[in-house]
Structure formats: structure tokens, C-alpha cells
A and B are shown apart, each in its own frame.
Chain A
Amino acid sequence: MDLNYSEHEENFRSEVRGFLAAELDPALAENVRLGKQLSKQDHEGWHAKLNARGWLAPNWPEEHGGAAWDAVRRHIFEEECALAHAPRVVPFGLSMLGPVLQKFGSPEQQAFWLPRILSGEDWWCQGYSEPGAGSDLASLRTTAERDGDRYIVNGQKTWTTLGQHANMIFCLVRTDRSAKQQEGISFLLIDMNSPGVEVRPIVLLDGSAEVNEVWFRDVGVPVENLVGEENKGWTCAKFLLTHERTNIAGVGFSKAGLEAVKRIARHSRSGGRPLSENPHFAARVAQAEIDLMAMATTSLRIVSRAAAGQAPGVESSMLKVQGTIIRQEINDLARRAAGVYAMPFGSEALDGSNSGLPDPVDAGPVAAQYFNNRKLSIFGGSNEIQRQIIAKSLEGPGQ
């Protein structure tokens, strides 16, 4: 055992810091720090910079243009990016569809779609959930019927994150209505500019407009856009979910979030002293920090056990549950720390920012973030469903 970073790893860290110092626009970083909703251009610009450096796809193998980093490097990279307030990498193409195509896609599909993910030519969104099919995803009802060399898609997806920016959506669709639930599902790539696709925004309780409903009415999709075998899409679906979960754990976000809590607590005064010196508040922060330290190591241990390019199995559920508990706790602490300055609401411009609002404690829209991040324990498979998966893996005699 060696808990120290090697010299190579430390050099890598310096390299990442150097890159961030040179390439990350301070104005953009400030918007990230203040929890503003970023524009499509903000995301695209940042992706382009990472891509130019070859760092946009840390988890992809080199043959597909990835960095093929091991778990430690990925960890260092995420941590440095989060602490520098770099925009998060939009996961749908890079962390979700990419791995699916690499595992299940045909050579033609890989050659066509993967470079376009890296170049930003396509913005992907995730068409899994439906109004009636959330946790019970396999009960989905959107249908795709074969008609010559096309599928005709009908149905509705919902909660589609950043679907308003996307030109492509990967969907789970039912291709065999007679088969048992999981067996008639296929994984289909759909051009959102096709006739019959309609996107409608859903406003969330914090005023943000990040999710959408997507409707399909007789949408024609070329059969080449089927990934894997027809009616075997559930395998792709589950594979993708383990990648998604591992991502949501978000150790880097938690570290940056904890820094923010400490900053706000230094600026808030309580009884004539900074709140950071209040023993009660300090204890809450320390508790979260202790949990996070262990979580960071849990995450490293688990992720480094998984083979390159793969996501861990049932452990991804553990990471998701523990990681989201900590992230939500940190959001709660930030809200508390801001005191009355958590109350002002900035959504009159619907940009989720606090610009123009009083903020002497330099908190940003902490209440909005607290409410928005309630989603962490709901999406990517709710925490209840993760516990169910963990419990299931424990059935039978112990080892």
C-alpha cells in the first residue's frame, strides 16, 4: 500500500493546473463558481479546449481518441477541474453514449459517431425516462416499428436534461410489444431535427430550465441507427447506467462545494465572529469533510479495480448513494452558512444567478442549488433503486 501520489502523478497534477490556468476563462470560472446556468456556447467552448488538448474523454481508449487515463489520473483531473471551477463536461455523449458505442456499436457506428462527440458536432441527450417509466424503466412505451429501412418512432420521453441544446438523442424504444418487458427494447439514435420531434421545457422548482419533454410523432429513423441487436437494447441500457452512476458520485464537485461552504462561513459573521469559528457550524463542516475524505478514497479504490474503460458493477450503486448524500449535505451547509442571504431569488432573469442581488457573504444562489441538487438522489436511478440493487447483490450466502 502506498497512499502517496507518485512523482508522475504529481507532475500530471501540475500539468493539469498549468492547462487550467492557461485555458480556463476567468469569467467563465466565476460563473461556474456562482452556480450560474451556462450557455450552450460556454459548454461547447470548454469542450473544444479540452479536446484540443486530448483531454475531453479521459475514460475512452486511445484508439477512439480518448486519454485512457487510469483511475488516479482521472481523479486528479476531476479534482483540479472542480477546484478551478471549470464547467462540468456534459456527460451524455462522452460518459454515456461513448462507452456504449465502444462496446456495442458496429465499426461503422464507432467511426462515424465517436469523432463527432469529441468535435462537438453532435450534442447528445438521454431519452430513457417516460412519464410512466421512471424507476421501472423497462415499462417504457415509446415504440419503434420497422418500415423498410426505417423505424417509425412514436411516444414521449421526459426529464430530458439539456435537450433544448441537443441535436441528437439516444433512446430506449420498444421494438417488440409482445415480448416480456426487458426483452423487446432497443437502443436507437435519433436526429432531433427530424420531422415529428418536439421539445418542450419543464421549469424546475429552483426556476431553472434544464429539463424537457420530448415528443415523437411518426419520426422516421434509419435502421443503421440501431445500436447492438434489435430487442437487446436493455443490455446497452444497463451498461450505460453503471457509467452514469459512477459519474454522479461527483467527488470533485463535493470538494469544490466544501471550499465554497468554508468561504461563505468566513464571510458570514455570527456573534461578532466569522461563522467558521462557531463550534456548532464548524462541527457540521468537519463531519462532512471527514465523510468526503473517506468517500474520495472509496471512489478511488472502486474505480481503480474496474478494468480500463469499464465502470464498476454493484459498487457504482454504492458510489452513487454515498456520493449524493455528501453532495446534498454540502449544499445544505452552504444554504445554512449564507443565513438570510440565502433568501434572495434570482430567477427573474431565469439564469439561476444572483447577479444584481445582495450577497455580502459571497454565497451565490445557494438555495437554488440546494433545491436543484435534490435531483441527485432521484436521477441516474434513484437512491432507493440503488439500495435495491445493492441488496439484491447480497442475496444468497456470504463469502
Chain B
Amino acid sequence: MNFDLSQERVMLQDSLRRFLRDRHSPQMQNAAQYPPGYDAGLWSGLAELGVFAALFSEKDGGFGGLGADIAVVFEELGRAGVTAPVTETCILGGGLLSRLGDSNQKELITGIMEGSCQIALAHAEPDGRYDLSFVSARAVPQSDGIVLNGQKSVVVNAQAADFLIISAREDGAADASEGISLFLVPSGADGIVMRDFALVGGGRAAEISIENLLVSEAARLGPAGAAFPVLEEVTAAAITATCAATLGAMISAADLTRDYLATRKQFGRPIGSFQALAHRMADMMIALEQARSAVILAAGHLEASRDVRELHASAAKNLIGRTGRLIAEESIQMHGGIGMTAEYGLGHLARQIVMADHRFGDTDHHLERFIALTAA
């Protein structure tokens, strides 16, 4: 076994860390609450640096695309508190295009890597909670194409996206894994109504009503009714990305806390010298090592067979959910009042860490899923 990063990935990590240190800090993140939900200059900078290309394989024109690439890139983004829609555009959007797209559809990947194309996945629905196979939106063929109808909830990056990938059911019960299709649709198409809002963890999302949206057969991404296995696969990649980004934010929160314990004095001593805090800082560092390992396991098994991949994705999401909550809450607590302010960077990191639990299934959802996967 070897836990070292390859030389290329070390270089990617270094250049990304330097780039983000120069032009980004968690303190700047309050701006991200407002449209378009991310810093456009930062976005093109990331593209120029090749960060997006690192998330695609060579056959798509990139130079990476494996779990380990995702882990490196997202940990750095998370450390700097970046709330740009990289998961939505590259991992979900790009991942689906790469796996299911025909040659026309795949052309978008070049735009994604260059930073000129944004994607959002409109999949989850109000009654589905975190159940990935729950799709009650309908796709009904008619003479001149396919008509889509349904509701999609909290679609991250919808407003900024050039294209939406919309899931809709062509067959089966609302929670059946068979019968789900995906459609690639320009986000401004007639029949798409968006209500856009800011997110607690940064960035923006929208509620989407799809009302008699007429699409052509050519809009379908992949074969009819068979999208679920691929949705599951890219969701595992998105979970890995989310876990790695959360790990990065946890590292930064722990760093801030460590520094603060050493410098803040009360009762004539650095507060870190009080054992009641020192031991909890130690517990945070232990939790952080566990979190690192969980991300390594998820990333390292992303290319494995379905069951192994999903098991590790769920394990990581559960463990990051628990350790993330611990580190966010303890970091705020040990900072005292200053940790509660919007101005100090910790608040933003803590929001990112905790709110990551609400994406792609929370701690409890993945615990139940882990039980089901290990019992199988």
C-alpha cells in the first residue's frame, strides 16, 4: 500500500493551494450569498489553472477524472471555503455527459473545462427527501417529442446554469430505480420556471417547476428509462467531492481554532492551556484523521464495483457528517463570541461543513444505507 499522492497530483495540489491563497479567503465568502452565487473571476481562474480538466479523463480531453483527483481538488476548494458550483457543473453535469452523452452532447465538456459552460442537475423532488430513485416528474412521448412535467427541489446552481439535466420518469412507480430518464435542456427553455434563492452554506439554488416542457428525442441523455445506475455512480462521485471539500473546511476550522487557542488569553493565560479545551482540541485532531481516512476510502473505491463503491461513499458521508458537526460546533464553542460573527472566517466554514450534511443524503440516511448495503 502507498498513501502518497502521485507527483502530478502533488503539483495540482500545490498550484491550486497557492492560487486560492492569493485570491480567496473564507472571509470573502459573504459575497457568495448574492447572484450568481459564485465569484466569476475565480471560476475562470480555476479553469485556466486546469482544475476542471483534472476532473475529466483523457478520453474526454482532460487529464484526471479519478477519485483521487476529485479528493485533491475538492479538499483544496474546501480549505479555502470556496462555494463555487464545481460539483454541479463538473462532477454531476460533466460526469453524466461523459458517461451518457452522444457526441453532440459531449461537446459541452470542452466548454465545462474551459470555464464557459455551467450545468445543474434537476433531480431531487419535494417528497423524495434523500431517496435517489424517487422521481415523480413525468416524461411522456407524443408525436412531436417528449413532454416533461414535475417539481424539482433545491436545485443548486440552477440560475447560473446554461443547461439543466432533468430527471423524469418514463415508467414505473415513483421510487422505482427502473424507468428514470435524463434530459439535457437549455435552462432558458419554455416550460421551466425557477424561483432562485441563496443557500445557508453559500451559493444559490432554485425551486423548479417544469410545466409542459417539450423536448426532442435528441435531448435524452442515454437510453430511455435506464439512467439510475449512472445517477448513482455520479452521485457517489459528488459525495466524494462533498466529503473532500468538507474535510478541507474542517482542516481550516481546526487550524483557526488551534491558532486561536494559542493566542487568545483569559485569566492571564492562553485559553489553550486550559485542559478542558486542550483535550477537546485533541479530540478534534483525532476526528480529523478519521475524516481524512474516510475520504481516502471513498475516493479510492470510486472506480470499484457498484456495491463496494456505494458502501464507501455512504460510510464517508456518515463519518464526515458526524466529525464535521463535531469540528464545526467545537470550533465555534472554543472561540467564544468571535466564532459567532459573520465577519470572522470560521462562521462561513462552519456553515459549509454543517450544511454539507443536507446534500446527497445526510448522516442518518447514509447510516441506513450502509446497513442495507452491508446486510446485502
Give the interface of A toward B (CB within 8 A): 129, 134-136, 139, 158-159, 202-207, 211, 268-272, 275, 278, 280-281, 284, 332, 335-336, 339-348, 356-358, 360, 367-368, 370-371, 374-375, 377-379, 382-384, 387-388
Contacts and interface: CB of A to CB of B under 8 A. Distances in A.
A271 B363 CA distance: 16
Interface of B: 33-34, 124, 126-131, 153-154, 174-175, 195, 197-201, 205, 207, 266-268, 271, 274, 276-277, 325, 329, 332-333, 336-337, 339-343, 347-348, 350-351, 354-355, 357-359, 362-364, 367-368
Nearest to B332: A374
Given A345-B33, A378-B333, A203 B341 contact: yes
B342 A207 contact: yes
A230 to B, nearest CB: 25
B329 A374 contact: yes
Contacts of B348: 205
A339 B129 contact: yes
A160 to B, nearest CB: 11
Contacts of A278: 364
A345 B368 contact: no
A371 B350 contact: yes
Most B CB contacts (10 A, CB to CB) among A159, A205, A368, A377 go to A205
Contacts of A202: 341, 343
Given A135-B266, A280-B367, A336-B362, A343 B343 contact: no
A135 B336 contact: yes
Contacts of A388: 276
B55 to A, nearest CB: 24
For the complex of A and B, the 7 pairs showing the least CB-CB separation, nearest first, are A205-B347, A136-B266, A203-B342, A340-B154, A367-B200, A345-B200, A345-B198
Contacts of A129: 337
Given A275-B129, A345-B33, A358-B154, A204 B266 contact: no
Contacts of A377: 333
A139 B333 CA distance: 21
22 contacts: A134-B337, A136-B268, A139-B266, A205-B348, A205-B350, A206-B200, A272-B174, A278-B364, A332-B325, A335-B354, A336-B357, A336-B363, A339-B358, A341-B154, A342-B358, A343-B205, A344-B198, A348-B197, A367-B354, A371-B350, A378-B337, A384-B274
A344 B358 CA distance: 11
A345 B153 contact: no
B149 to A, nearest CB: 18
A343 B276 contact: no
Nearest to B342: A203
Contacts of A374: 329, 332-333, 339-340
Nearest to A138: B267
B129 A378 contact: no
A346 B268 CA distance: 41
B200 A336 contact: no
A273 B127 CA distance: 9
Contacts of A205: 340-342, 347-348, 350-351
Contacts of B154: 340-341, 343-344, 358
Nearest to B269: A136
B10 to A, nearest CB: 34
Contacts of A280: 364, 367-368
Nearest to B198: A345
A248 B336 CA distance: 17
A347 B33 CA distance: 9
Contacts of B347: 204-205, 371
B336 A341 contact: no
A360 B126 contact: yes
Given A134-B337, A367-B200, 14 more contacts: A205-B350, A206-B200, A211-B337, A270-B129, A281-B364, A340-B358, A343-B205, A343-B355, A343-B358, A344-B197, A345-B200, A358-B197, A371-B350, A382-B336
Nearest to B371: A280
A133 to B, nearest CB: 8
A358 B341 contact: no
Contacts of B124: 340
Contacts of B359: 340, 343
B337 A358 contact: no
